[in-house]
Amino acid sequence: MSDRTFHILTFGCQMNVNDSDWLARALVARGFTEAPLGKARVNIVNTCSVRDKPEQKVYSVLGRIRQATRKLPDAFAVVGGCVAQQIGSGFFTRFPQVRLVFGGDGSSMAPQAIERLCAEPGLRVSLLDFSEEYPERDAQLDSGPVPPSAFVNIMQGCDNFCAYCIVPYTRGRQKSRAADAVVRECAELVDRGAKEITLLGQNVNSYGQDAEATRQATAAGDGKAVSFAELLHRVAALPGLARLRFVTPHPKDIAPEVIDAFGTLDNLCPRLHLPLQSGSDRILKAMGRKYDMARYMDIVHRLKAARPDIQLSTDIIVGFPGETEQDFEDTLAAMRAVGFAASFSFCYSDRPGTRAEMLPAKLDAAEKAARLARLQEWQNDYTEQCLRSMVGLHTMVLLDGMSRKPGMTTPELQEGVHEGVHDGVAGTPGGESWQGRDPYGQAVNVVMPPRTQGGPEGWLGRIVPVTIVEAKKHSLRGVLRA
Ligand code: SAH
Ligand code: SF4
Ligand code: F3S
């Protein structure tokens, strides 16, 4: 076993995926190499605690790591992300193999800590403090090509304290990243081959509205923080950036200028993930979401006026404490009224320390599951209908890799497991099967001529004209247009 091998397993949202990507590159820059889980000396789990299920997965994964590394005396585990922030050094007592815990703000220091742990066998380290400033990370790790689709953090944390949500506790107070740093990173990514950038944050449209942003503006002498709409304009103006997206906005404070941007910025993609959570005003109030259905529908109408072909997606929680059958029917009615191209829906899950945890009138698991199934059944039918309606359309597809089996990832902030494993590549007689995305973010599979015809770099990162010929359950199939 090499002394400096690592494996990262990532749960949770795109912000965690982005943190893990950075950590992997930082470790490689320090001379570490990746190895399979159980074969690596440093076994890193980047965790999510947004619901009970992903939190529990962490404990079972740590058990698995312990089993798999039984015969590797130097091997140890590292726990990062939101469960690390929540449980902290509690991991050291429950799992002797854990030697480092780090939270969101501590991730920038994790590579140095891992290096020290390799050199000092008895050491244990926790990096759990929240910093006051945005924890800027070393960006100059490597200079090679990057994937066509890149993600850029614009903020840390969240100040909204929705009644059910643990994120403000695990990610800390909102801290905007300096606009110049965001634009610089985006420009570098475009120079290195990125065609699409997704700006990331837990509540992106309150970018610039926090103490850190005010401090930066004061230090720069202009007194006024850069707003999210201004940031969008600055990034969109980068030459060579074909597509811009962002996730996640909160409906309560989406500014008119952000809505207008969908009508004026050519490279801002016509797709928006706008979490609704519930269609019942009573439940929205109890959740502390600070908008009602009238306000939400007003935003939807204004978005459609700015960009008539815009597609929306959303997050829904079913079975929030006190949700009645009527409240749930209101949610179904809201989904029909908006017509979301896709939705991510979850049973309400009690999170420690949140206001909702203290609420009476919890629903039982069977009731929540039954409501979730009804909602998902409706959504699946509707999504299929949306995909079918796209057959025959001419579109542009950004090719991001050879087709893999199975599954695709989504850009939304979602719980999930992300392993850097590439499954078998699908070969097709007379060509190669590629996957890509249309401007709405829909996955499209298309057969391309052999890669050598795509130029020295092949087809990766090319935006090609495609006619959609078939709708599958979760994806589309297209043919290359001459
Ligand atoms: N900041 C984003 C999303 C954060 S978490 C936003 O405000 O939309 C992603 C999704 O997880 C949320 O939109 C919500 O639908 C879901 N979620 C959060 N806490 C939850 C809980 N306690 N139980 C069930 N779902 C939850
Ligand atoms: Fe959680 Fe999102 Fe609400 Fe923040 S805005 S508390 S991250 S659901
Ligand atoms: Fe944390 Fe993202 Fe999960 S902020 S709780 S990893 S959804």
Long-range contacts made by residues 367-370, C-beta under 8 angstroms, separation at least 24? 367/319, 368/318, 368/319
CA of 50 to the centre of ligand 1 (A): 7
Is residue 137 domain-resident? no
Give the three-class secondary structure for 25.
helix
Identify whether residues 407 and 385 lie together within a single domain.
no
Residue closest to 396 by CA, chosen among 208, 306, 267:
267
Residues 384 and 306 occupy one common structural domain: yes
Has residue 324 been placed in a domain?
yes
In total, the chain counts a number of residues equal to: 482
Any domain includes 134: no
Total domains, the chain: 4
Position 143 in a domain: no
- Residue 139: CB atoms within 10 Å: 13
| Centroid of ligand 1 to alpha carbon of 202 (angstroms) | 10
Burial profile 69-107: b = 16 or more Cβ within 10 angstroms, e = fewer: beeeeebbbbbbbbbbbbbeeebbeebebbbbbbbbbbb
Whether 293 and 279 map to the same domain: the answer is yes
Last residue of a domain, one of 374, 389, 404: 389
Determine the distance separating the centroid of ligand 3 and the alpha carbon of 478, expressed in angstroms. 34
Say whether both 332 and 357 belong to one domain. Answer: yes
Q: In terms of domains, do 381 and 357 share one?
A: yes
Indicate whether residue 203 lines ligand 2 (CB < 6 A): yes
Q: Is the CB of 48 under 6 A from ligand 3?
A: yes
Do residues 289 and 296 make contact, with C-beta atoms less than 8 angstroms apart?
Answer: no
CB of 368 closer than 6 angstroms to any ligand 1 atom: no
| Residue whose CA lies nearest to ligand 2 atom number 3 | 162
Output the residue whose Cα is nearest ligand 1's atom 11.
Answer: 50
User: Which residue has the least CA distance to atom 1 on ligand 2?
Assistant: 165
**Does residue 132 lie within any of the structural domains?**
no
Give the per-residue pLDDT at 425. Answer: 45
Other CB atoms within a 10 A radius of the CB of residue 181 amount to 17
Q: Is 167 in the pocket of ligand 1 (CB under 6 A)?
A: yes
> Residue 468's domain spans which residues?
394-480
Task: Establish whether 165 is an annotated binding residue.
Answer: yes
Atom of ligand 3 nearest to the CA of 83: 5
For residue 407, the model assigns a pLDDT of: 38
Residue to substitute in 85, 161, 165 for testing ligand 2 pocket (most ligand atoms within 8 angstroms of CB): 165
CB contact at 8 A, 251 and 299: yes
Contact assessment for residue 254 and residue 295, using Cβ atoms and an 8 Å cutoff: no
Where residue 11 sits, what CATH number does that domain have?
3.40.50.12160
Tell whether residue 118 is among the known ligand binding residues: no
Give residue 414 CA to ligand 3 midpoint distance, Å: 8
Task: CATH number of the domain at 464, please.
Answer: 2.40.50
Whose C-alpha lies nearest to ligand 3, atom 3?
48
Atom of ligand 3 nearest to the CA of 54: 3
Q: Which residue of 283, 346, 375 sits with most ligand 1 atoms within 8 Å of its CB, as the best mutation to test the pocket? A: 346
User: Is 383 found in the same domain as 410?
Assistant: no
Q: Are residues 244 and 337 in the same domain?
A: no
The answer to whether residue 364 sits within a structural domain is yes
Same-domain check for residues 264 and 323: no
133 within domain boundaries: no
| Pairing verdict, β 431-437 and 394-402 | antiparallel
CA–CA distances in Å: residue 363 to residues 200, 323, 351, 354, 358: 33, 8, 15, 17, 13
Judge contact between 411 and 245, C-beta under 8 A: yes
Q: From the CB of 287, is ligand 1 less than 6 Å away?
A: no
Per-10-residue mean pLDDT, the chain, length 482: 84 95 94 91 96 93 90 93 95 95 95 96 94 84 88 96 97 95 96 97 94 86 88 98 98 96 98 98 98 98 98 98 98 98 97 97 97 98 96 97 57 44 45 93 93 73 97 94 87
Task: Take residue 284 and report the two structure tokens written for it.
Answer: 């929205």
Query: CB neighbours (10 Å) of residue 378?
Result: 14
Q: Exposure string (b/e) for 421-457, b if CB count within 10 Å is 16 or more?
A: eeeeeeeeeeebbbbbbbbbbbbbbbbbeeeeebeee
What is the position in ligand 2's atom list of the atom closest to the CA of 168?
6
Q: Is residue 138 part of a domain?
A: no
Distance CA 269, CA 243 (A): 6
Q: How far is CA 137 from CA 42, 108, 143, 182, 351, in A?
A: 21, 5, 15, 12, 30
The region that residue 277 occupies, defined by phi over 0 for left and psi between -120 and 50 for alpha, beta otherwise, is left
CATH number of the domain enclosing 179: 3.30.750.210
CA distances to 74, 332, 343 from 377, in Å: 49, 11, 11
The residues pairing with 149 across neighbouring beta strands, listed in sequence order, are 196
Put residue 186 in one of left, alpha, beta given phi > 0 → left and psi -120 to 50 → alpha: alpha
Check the annotation: does 13 bind a ligand: yes
Cβ of 253 closer than 6 Å to ligand 2, yes or no, is no
DSSP state of 413: S
Same domain for 376 and 399?
A: no
Does 205 contact ligand 2 (Cβ within 6 A)? no
Query: Residue 50: nearest ligand to its CA?
Result: 3
Cα–Cα separations (whole angstroms), residue 130 to 159, 170, 174: 14, 10, 11
**Helix (H) and strand (E) counts for the chain?**
14, 21
User: CA 104 → CA 15, 63, 270, distances in Å?
Assistant: 9, 23, 30
User: Is any atom of ligand 1 closer than 6 Å to the C-beta of 248?
Assistant: yes
Bridge partners of 404, per DSSP, are 425
Same domain, 56 and 78: yes
d(CA 62, CA 41): 14
* Domain closes at, from 347, 367, 389: 389
Whether residue 312 is found in the same domain as residue 223: no
The CATH number of residue 376's host domain is 3.30.750.200
Instruction: Report which ligand 2 atom has the smallest distance to the Cα of 161.
Output: 6
From the CA atom positions of the chain, what is the Rg in Å? 23
Q: For position 137, what pLDDT does the model report?
A: 86
For a ligand 3 pocket test, name from 167, 203, 418 the mutation site with the most ligand atoms within 8 angstroms of its C-beta. Answer: 167
- With CA atoms as reference, report the closest residue to 84 among 69, 63, 98: 98
Cα separations in angstroms, 107 against 23, 82, 90, 154, 255: 8, 11, 18, 16, 31
- Whether residue 48 is annotated as binding a ligand: the answer is yes
Boundary of a domain, candidates 210, 243, 269: 269
Tokens of 137: 């990370």
Dihedral sign, Cα of residue 328, residue 333, residue 338, residue 344: positive
Judge whether 158 is annotated as a binding position. yes
**280 and 360: one domain?**
yes
